[in-house]
Amino acid sequence: MSGIRIQTVTKRFGATQVLRGVSLEVAAGEFVALVGPSGCGKSTLMRIVAGIEQPDSGRIMIGAGDVTRLRPGDRDVAMVFQSYALYPHLTVAENIRVPLALRRLNAWQRLPLLGGLLRGTTDANYLMDQDVRRAAEALGLRALLDRRPAQLSGGQRQRVALARAIVRRPAAFLMDEPLSNLDASLRVQTRREIVEIHRQAGAATLYVTHDQSEALTMADRVAVMQGGELLQVATPQAIYADPQDLRVATFIGSPR
């Protein structure tokens, strides 16, 4: 099986049990929205799937393999977060190219690359440029490739972060409230772009949002989390019309 499999993951910070045995599968081609009140453990779960944080117990499978012990760069995932840190001294094209330049290099090889190789003109870079152009095209950034982040609007910066996420063609996307810094009209437009990117990639996408309508309109299935547990995982229709309990109904705003 491909996609993402999260198997009975637990995590505690000090005295706080943040995740209490979370299991969730996202199939290849499937878009799952993860919702729940602030502090319920959504970002912690995302960081564990990405490999930025280690679980206390449980396993993470991505594609065919167990990646629980792999570092982030060795997992076939791309992450987009709310604070989409772009490199201010690099152009849009160079920012999008970063994951390609860092691929298959170890830590000590990676460091000098950010300044030097990224701007080189080797054959390898020519191939990378094709991927960069394809990603930029998908997000309407072709005319902006030579700009620097300071010369972009917030929405354009977030699209650069999305282009950077798709440039490697990963098997899985992890997005943690990627639109929450955008204004309302831009958010609706970018929603559509994200769903389109997901479809074209055929990826397994796990998408955190605090916006219930976003979850209900974008996702194939919605996972409702509270207090470090999943209360219900079901289609938007089922979550809305047939919530499993009062906590789900209250959070989603279902009619009762």
Site for Mg ion contains 43 (CB under 5 A)? yes
- Look up residue 209 and give its two tokens: 């949002």
146 burial (CB, 10 Å; 0-12 / 13-18 / 19+) is: exposed
CB 38 → ligand ADP: shortest distance, Å?
Answer: 4
What are the φ and ψ backbone dihedral angles of 181, each rounded to 5 degrees? -90, 0
> Contact region for ligand ADP (CB under 6 A) — 10-18, 100-108, 113-121, 127-135?
10-18
Do residues 160 and 96 lie in contact, with contact meaning Cβ atoms separated by under 8 Å? yes
Which x/- pattern, by CB under 6 A, does the window 17-36 give for ligand ADP?
Answer: -x-----------------x
Interaction of residue 226 with ligand ADP, rule CB under 6 A: no
To the nearest whole angstrom, how small is the minimum distance from the Cβ of residue 178 to ligand ADP? Answer: 13
CB of 44 to ligand ADP, least distance (A): 3
Among 6, 24, 40, 96, binds ligand ADP (CB under 6 A): 40
**Residue linked to tokens 């095209």:** 137
Element (H, E) at 161: helix 154-166
For ligand ADP, which stretch binds (CB under 6 A), given 25-33, 38-46, 103-111, 158-166? Answer: 38-46
Residue 34: contacted member of ligand ADP, Mg ion, none (CB under 5 to 8 Å, by partner type): none
Under the criterion CB under 6 A, does residue 44 sit at the interface with ligand ADP? Answer: yes
- Strand ranges across the sheet with 4-13: 16-26, 4-13, 57-62, 65-66
Residue 85 — φ and ψ, nearest 5°? -60, 110
Separation in Å, CA 36 to CA 24, 180, 182, 189, 246: 15, 15, 20, 23, 14
> In terms of CB distance, is 54 or 153 closer to Mg ion?
54
Q: How far apart are CA 121 and CA 109, in angstroms?
A: 18
Measured from the CB of residue 190, what is the shortest distance to ligand ADP in angstroms?
20
Closer to Mg ion at the Cβ: 192 or 210?
210
CB of 46 to ligand ADP, least distance (A): 8
Coil/strand/helix, residue 13: strand
- Work out whether strand 229-234 and strand 221-226 pair parallel, antiparallel, or are unpaired: antiparallel
Q: Which stretch binds ligand ADP (CB under 6 A): 11-19, 110-118, 181-189, 231-239?
A: 11-19
In whole angstroms, how close is the CB of 177 to Mg ion at the nearest point? 6
User: What single-letter amino acid sits at 230?
Assistant: L
Binding site for Mg ion (CB under 5 A): 42-43
Binding site for ligand ADP (CB under 6 A): 13, 16, 18, 36, 38-44
